[in-house]
Amino acid sequence: MSTGWVKELPIAVTVTDKIGNIIEMNDSSVQTFEKYGGKTLIGKNVADIHSERVCEKITKIIETKTANSYTIEKNGVKKLVYQTPWYHNGEYAGLVELSMTMPGLPKKPAAEMMDIDNDGKITGLF
């Protein structure tokens, strides 16, 4: 499988080895972690860029080989973060972290803008 598609994927993809050292970052990941060094983080441990609380979760993922997901909000931007083990030839090889922006819901629910006319035609949803 080619991995070229992930380079410009509009979500941050960060890959670590078995002990949490960053081995790959796509463009979005480099941008997300720019204030921590961006691409220079490759070769460093995830503990260098995450809080103690997140590091505890990462340690648990490494120990139990189970996925973790959570949402965060920083500076008014909501994100979904998914962390999961990855495998090579059937053996645990490290972690992958996907971090994506979650667009907010509109202030006014779509159902409030919906209307059904006398002929049963629905308008206002799209």
Q: What pLDDT does 104 receive?
A: 67
Pairwise CA distance, residues 50 & 111, whole Å: 40
Pairwise CA distance, residues 35 & 49, whole Å: 10
Q: Residue 46: how many CB atoms within 10 A of its CB?
A: 22
pLDDT tens sequence across 67-92: 999 888 888 788 999 999 999 999 99
Q: What pLDDT does 75 receive?
A: 80
Q: What pLDDT does 120 receive?
A: 82
Would you mind telling me the total number of residues written for the chain in this entry?
126
8 A C-beta contact, residue 95 and residue 20 = yes
Q: Residue 124: how many CB atoms within 10 A of its CB?
A: 11
Q: What pLDDT does 105 receive?
A: 57
pLDDT tens sequence across 6-47: 999 999 999 999 999 999 999 999 999 999 999 999 999 988
Question: What CATH number corresponds to the domain at position 100?
Answer: 3.30.450.20
Pairwise CA distance, residues 73 & 87, whole Å: 30
Structural domain total, the chain:
1
| Region of 124 on the Ramachandran plot (φ > 0 left; ψ -120 to 50 alpha; else beta) | left
The full DSSP string for 33-52 is TGGGTGGGGTTSBGGGTS-H
Query: With 70 as the cut, is the pLDDT of residue 3 above it?
Result: yes
Q: What pLDDT does 107 receive?
A: 58
Per the structure, the complete domain to which residue 72 belongs is given by 4-123
Pairwise CA distance, residues 12 & 94, whole Å: 17
Model confidence pTM above 0.95? no
Higher per-residue confidence, 62 vs 113? 62
Phi/psi at 13 (nearest 5 deg)? -120, 120
Instruction: Place 48 in a pLDDT band, splitting at 50, 70 and 90.
Output: confident
